[in-house]
Structure 1
């Protein structure tokens, strides 16, 4: 059960984008598990991918194809990650592109393949390839919700975000979807995300916008500390709503697009945490007063990845010594613990490295019992600040992952 508001908004149509889906029975019957995106000719496409050395076959193919040309089609399957599958897996990812290219009349290099699901099993290629034409037959501009459903694995809810904005009197749209619930940690996660706008943006700036916004969104979430083999995030600008192309970050329109994309990406990223496997609480961890951003992130992730902190929050147990321990083993050099302050929402639990004089167990328990809470740490050594989003660790997380392949 997802935490907080995970309502699917009205998904505005993006001019130049059509989506189709089908039931290909990649792993499970009676559910959409194959999705195709079609982009108008001239669309500029960018991507960022997992930093896991064991990255999946489709990730390798996506990187190679993006380096060659722009993309016209995305093809996504769920239920099977096509990771840890060796040369056969690479050949299957290429074969998927080749078959779709044959059906739509483009080069295989203009197609990007994506897979998500169980690692170490070969794709059921006959079923997957047979599902391509049925998915193409359903292509339409309003199928964002179907697509969000079709890329789910252990997600309990589809995830989407959509905004409209104005530049020089023209109304543009930015709409995106994501999936992910477990094997989630920064440097991307076992997540897929696809965002598109009909604003006109040069290919170089599309990549710049994506890389910038991913850093403060998908690279600031963690569910369980595991970096996936398949995580991918795509941003496409079709330019189909008109207007002159944005080619420089100095263009005043760039700042507007950056702001909207940041909102979209943060929403999609936080939806993944809210729907974390077995999650019952959404936790914001802000570390301020750092010497630099890196040490703020190191401490925030140390807290966010601590099983002891996460289980204490699940149990609504204000065992705040676990937070101090996580701060202490984060590896930040020359940390003066006597300058450290820690709060649970508005309740100060640690002052100058020790228990705050007015802290009470009842006040801490009250905050811990909330479904959404903030842990704030002030290191007292500089001006840097950063924020990470995570969730608690419950019995259901173990159950979900123990039964995942069954």
Structure 2
């Protein structure tokens, strides 16, 4: 299974040779058991230490975009449960990936200290800090092949999770019971839901003319709010548990909807309160992108356009959690209104190049000049312009004299 080249083609080859001629990395080390938390602190060139079973593609893209020089994983990057895409993306970018590192490494490191990685060994001077199994493209491809062989088991588990979710949330899915009221007016309008997921940058760029013309209500899901601000847009509503969104986004003026557990616990509500804001609480079992879609549908959206959300079976499994069954059913619920922007950037490309536009502008200018010389009125106007040009040159010459 090859990782799509639209992203990987622009990735730098980050492996570097040391001055003594050996292959290795000497860089600051930063560690966190949660990858999404670590990517907020990483700087270009850092060695990232994580604890992430089955690295998914979104997490891998985040690590690569941070410019890390190596990734050390205390877990197994490909466990064999399903063919997750993240490890292949990392190794194809030329970033050393070391698996099954001793979990005690988290207690042995100081944030930001410079250490040396030689193959699968992390060194402080000549002292071994941790060891692991270095992966390469061949080993990752072999692990992916084994994972694909067991895909049928994962499909059965996914189907079972889907039925279980339907039993628990049938009232919400079928009748909209439990969807809270919001202040933002959505009735009869288009809604754009942005998740910081697959191809979100390309899709946002492709939809610029659509956003300008239809002015949809923009709902951001967690980190999607920061993606929108980076693209020059302000979300109208932000939905999520708020563990991967910045304070800048939460205070941008958008209405806030906290995704809570089914029992009412809402960890993200405290953060909103600390910032001096209020939020609507939406208890639901599914994912935050499900909550956003159900919210838009219940509020009467005429059309829902999704950016960065999960659309294919490969993406559902790549997320690697049972909760993705809710996204599958939610899409069935809102399917009549839902348009997925994923792939639009690859399907459509403007065929008008800048050089073509310049040539067209030059042709128009030449046409105007020819038309002016061909008519009496145009000749009078051109004579007037020539006189004014001569006067300007005379004035300029006087200044320089």
TM over 0.5: no
Is the strand fraction higher in 1 or 2?
A: 1
**TM-score with structure 1 setting the length:** 0.23
Is the helix fraction higher in 1 or 2?
A: 2
